Amino acid sequence: MGLRNRIFRHKVTGKLSYMPAGRYGNFLNSIKKLVNYVKHNYPKYYCAHLTLTVAENISEVHFKNLHRVTQFINQRLKRAGAEFKYVACKELQERGAIHYHILCIYNKPYVFPSSDEIALSWKLGFVKITAPKVRMKLYKIAKYIGKYIGKGHEYEALESLKSFTASQIKQIYKLSPSRLLDIIAKFGKEQAEEFKCTYRKVFEIIKFDPFPVTRKLVKEYPREWDYVGIEEVPF
């Protein structure tokens, strides 16, 4: 068992780049989408870090309990005219208990529910709320949540168990910041959010009844890196 890195070689310089694969890579991609979304949709953002603990040494907690908490927060903020996005990860402590850590980012002050209110929704134990330093860059704030699972080892060690979850965010926000800015400048944010994309191709989805859905390529960025292979890094 080990971590996996995807290896890429720059077509001009020959420099190698190592990108995490597997669950840890998916976690970092979720952070990237979260950061891009917040930058383009929240004129001002606020952060809360939740720690959800369990009262007993429970080695596994069904994700429906975590979803109950995020749905409660979402409904509370929605009633207050606010929106929030989150990324949550699982921490397995040495004593065998499961904790969840949730980074919540929202766009209106003084609307976030208290720890006691969230605990009533959680039902399994205690809730602690702390605030990351907002003067940090947003990407660092988001990666801060990942320190609770080391450098990705625990993601793969959990094997078939789900190790993190995150808000649903439109595909276009998976682009690099420079490419995302380019697409929004050309098509506007509202239209861009309806596009589907890979990391260098952007497609418009066309639906004409009774014909099947088709994809129209609207932008293709040049390939700067060649894929080399997978590197296995043992724990």
Total of domains in the chain: 2
Q: What pLDDT, on a 0 to 100 scale, did the predictor assign at position 228? A: 94
**81-109 b/e (C-beta count within 10 Å ≥ 16 → b):** ebebbbbbbbbbeeeebbbbbbbbbbbbe
**Quick one: 128 and 142 in the same domain?**
yes
Q: What's the domain range around 208?
A: 170-215
Global pTM value: 0.86
**Quick one: 206 and 118 in the same domain?**
no
Q: What pLDDT, on a 0 to 100 scale, did the predictor assign at position 146? A: 64
AA letter at 65: N
**Quick one: 103 and 52 in the same domain?**
yes
**Quick one: 139 and 201 in the same domain?**
no
Domain boundary among 168, 199, 223: 168
- Domain containing residue 105: CATH number: 3.30.70.1910
AA letter at 160: S
Maximum mean pLDDT: which of 72-86, 158-172, 220-234: 72-86
pLDDT (mean) for 168-174: 95
pLDDT digits (tens, 9 = 90+) for 61-91: 777 889 999 999 999 999 999 999 998 888 7
Judge whether 20 and 76 are in contact, CB under 8 Å.
Answer: no
Is the residue at 85 inside a domain? yes
Of 206 and 158, the structure prediction assigns the larger pLDDT to: 206
